[in-house]
Amino acid sequence: MTKKTCAFYDERDCKQILLSAEEIDSITTRLAQAIENTYKDSEKQLVLVVILKGSMPFATDLMRKIRKPLQLEFMKVSSYGAGTKASGEIRIHLDLLREDLPDCDVLIVEDIIDSGRTLSRLTQLLQNRNVNSVKTCTLLDKPSRREVPFVPDFCGAQIPDEFVIGYGLDYAEDYRNLPFVGVLKPEIYS
C-alpha cells in the first residue's frame, strides 16, 4: 500500500494533536457567538473575507454558526519573504472586487497568524479602500513568532511555535483535510 492510500497515514505523521475536532467545534461556536455579539447593532452588510487556501474549513464551519445575514468573499495573498526590500508587502493573487465596501463590515477570516505580516497589510489595504469597518478572526495564533505587531479581534487559540497541520493547514499542500490540528513530526520535514 502506498503512503497516499493508507487511510490513517496522515494522523500517524503527527507527534501530537493540538486541537481535536471536538475542541475545534467548541472554538467555532464561541467565536460565532462573539462575532454575532459584536455586529448585532450594525446596519451594515457583514462580509466574511476568507483568505485562501488554509482558512477554508474554518470559515465554512464558522459561518454556519453565525446567526446573522452575511456574505462571503475570497482573497488569496502571499507575503514577500522577510528580509526583502518590500518586506511586509503582500502579493494579491485573488482580490476582493466589490464597490459597496463603505457599506460593509468586513471580517477577515484566517487559519493562522505567524509573523503578522499578512493580516497587518491586509487590514491596512482594506481600510484604505474605505470599508466601513475591518476586523480579523483567526483560528490559531502564534504570538511568539510575531515580526510586526498585530492583535486579532477574534482568536480561537494561541499555540506554541510548532509546525501545525490539518483543518486547512498544510505541509507542501498535504494534510489540509485532517479534521483536527496536529503537530507534524519533525522527521517528516527535516
Write each residue from 3 to 22 as x if it is in contact with ligand PRP (CB under 6 A), else as -, in one continuous string.
--------------------
Please tell me the distance from the alpha carbon of residue 167 to that of residue 171, in angstroms, as a whole number.
12
Q: Is 78 in the site for ligand PRP (CB under 6 A)?
A: yes
Q: Is 138 in the site for ligand PRP (CB under 6 A)?
A: no
- Which segments of 129-169 does DSSP mark as H helices, in order? none
Write each residue from 22 to 51 as x if it is in contact with ligand PRP (CB under 6 A), else as -, in one continuous string.
-----------------------------x
- Cell numbers placing 85: 526590500
Give the nearest distance from C-beta 29 to ligand PRP in angstroms. Answer: 22
Among 47, 108, 118, 125, binds ligand PRP (CB under 6 A): 118
Question: How many CA atoms does the CB half-sphere of 40 hold within 13 Å?
Answer: 7
Instruction: Specify the residue, 17 or 148, whose C-beta has the smaller distance to ligand PRP.
Output: 148
Among 27, 75, 109, 117, binds ligand PRP (CB under 6 A): 117
Instruction: Specify the residue, 69 or 81, whose C-beta has the smaller distance to ligand PRP.
Output: 81
Among 113, 134, 159, 165, binds ligand PRP (CB under 6 A): 113
Instruction: Specify the residue, 115 or 132, whose C-beta has the smaller distance to ligand PRP.
Output: 115
Instruction: Specify the residue, 45 or 188, whose C-beta has the smaller distance to ligand PRP.
Output: 188
* Helix orientation angle between 21-39 and 56-63, rounded to the nearest 10 degrees: 60
Chain position whose Cβ is nearest to ligand PRP: 54
Please tell me the distance from the alpha carbon of residue 166 to that of residue 79, in angstroms, as a whole number.
21
Please tell me the distance from the alpha carbon of residue 179 to that of residue 17, in angstroms, as a whole number.
11
The reply to whether 100 belongs to the active site is no
The 3-state DSSP composition of the chain as helix, strand, coil percent (nearest 5) reads 30, 35, 40
Please tell me the distance from the alpha carbon of residue 154 to that of residue 37, in angstroms, as a whole number.
12
In terms of Cα–Cα distance, which of 59, 21, 15 is closest to 163?
A: 15
Give the nearest distance from C-beta 109 to ligand PRP in angstroms. Answer: 10
Cα torsion 85, 136, 128, 132 to 10°: value is 180
Residues that are catalytic: 114
**Residues lying near ligand PRP in the complex (CB under 6 A):** 51-54, 78-79, 110-118, 170
